């Protein structure tokens, strides 16, 4: 029975892999109890469903909201009427373009050769964050404005009265023009400048990014003549969002470290 249950579950994964949702649904009982465990308000595919029609709607929402690059069931274990499957996936949330990679555990309960109960346990917080428009704005800022050098895109991301807070850059003005001047200054002074985001999280209205900036000082930078030295600095950026625009942000980064790497300020513990 255990081997037969595993074989049945494997056939359902195979059907999903080839896009044959009809065959997958045929392997489920009409009254199936189906749930991706988590808060339904966080993402369309999260929450409980009852019956084959509701499960069919679940897979419609999967196709509508997610684009898979990987879906890998890795381990199958059976006990009595249950099959436990451990796997992983990689996908892109279509609305925001944000990538999600996570491991999951699926638990199937079978009766008379059909699945009567299904539970998915995965990192639903990633889905909630990736689907947020706040994350999409933050990613566009980094990918298009900072790294893509499309300064005009800032007009679509920041509000007209946007405020920027950074103790190391008191010269930055308000509004979109201020943000374009800020990023443009580093584009001109560090011609291969790049911002790499290592982590991104959010509160109710604020996206928080942990980032590293790197590049070579080949142009005028805040009055500093080119040194042709490479720099690498770490920082934390916080973007507050209201509606569909970033209205305020705070940037705290290693300004001293940059000046030391450029030779403007002596390294601590070293002679000038």
Per domain, the residue ranges of the chain are: 2-124, 132-261
Contact between 229 and 213 (Cβ < 8 Å): no
Element (H, E) at 245: strand 245-253
Q: Would you state the pLDDT for residue 131?
A: 67
Q: In whole angstroms, give the CA distance from residue 34 to residue 89.
A: 19
pLDDT at 85: 98
CA-wise closest residue to 88 among 68, 107, 73? 73
Nearest to 104, CA basis, from 83, 82, 89:
89
pLDDT digits (tens, 9 = 90+) for 213-239: 999 999 999 999 999 999 999 999 999
**255 three-class SS:** helix
Please list, in sequence order, all residues whose beta carbon lies within 8 angstroms of the beta carbon of residue 135, skipping any fewer than 6 positions away.
Answer: 96, 98, 129, 200, 202, 207
Question: 130 near 124, Cβ under 8 Å?
Answer: no
Give the CATH fold of the 2-124 domain. Answer: Nuclear Transport Factor 2; Chain: A, (3.10.450)
Under-70 pLDDT residues of the chain: 1, 96, 129, 131-132, 268-272
User: Is CATH 3.30.450.20 the right assignment for the domain spanning 132-261?
Assistant: no
pTM score? 0.55
pLDDT in tens, 71-87: 999 999 999 999 999 99
CA distance 128 to 123: 9
Does 2-124 match 132-261 in CATH topology?
Answer: yes
Pairing of strands 245-253, 230-242: antiparallel
């Amino acid at each position: 029975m255990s081997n037969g249950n595993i074989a049945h579950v494997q056939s359902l994964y195979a059907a999903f892999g080839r896009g044959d949702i009809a065959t997958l649904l045929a392997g489920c009982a009409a009254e199936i109890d189906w749930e991706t465990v988590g808060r339904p308000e966080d993402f369309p595919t999260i929450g409980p469903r009852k019956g084959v029609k509701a499960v069919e709607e679940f897979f419609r929402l999967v196709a509508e909201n997610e684009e898979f690059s990987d879906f890998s069931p890795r381990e199958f274990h059976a006990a009595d009427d249950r099959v436990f499957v451990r796997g992983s996936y990689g996908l892109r949330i279509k609305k925001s373009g944000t990538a999600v990679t996570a491991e999951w555990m699926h638990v199937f309960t079978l009766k008379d050769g059909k699945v009567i109960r299904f539970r998915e346990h995965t990192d639903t917080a990633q889905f909630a964050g990736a689907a947020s428009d706040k994350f999409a704005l933050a990613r566009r800022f980094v990918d298009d404005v900072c790294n893509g050098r499309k300064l005009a895109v800032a007009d679509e991301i920041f509000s007209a009265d946007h405020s920027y807070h950074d103790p190391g850059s008191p010269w930055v003005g308000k509004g979109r023009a201020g943000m374009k001047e800020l990023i443009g200054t580093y584009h001109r002074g560090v011609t291969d400048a790049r911002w790499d985001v290592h982590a991104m999280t959010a509160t109710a209205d604020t996206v928080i990014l942990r980032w590293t900036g790197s590049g070579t000082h080949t142009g005028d930078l805040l009055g500093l003549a080119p040194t042709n030295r490479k720099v690498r600095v770490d920082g934390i950026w916080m973007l507050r969002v209201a509606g569909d625009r970033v209205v305020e942000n705070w940037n705290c980064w290693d300004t001293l470290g940059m000046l030391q790497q450029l030779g403007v300020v002596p390294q601590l513990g070293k002679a000038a």
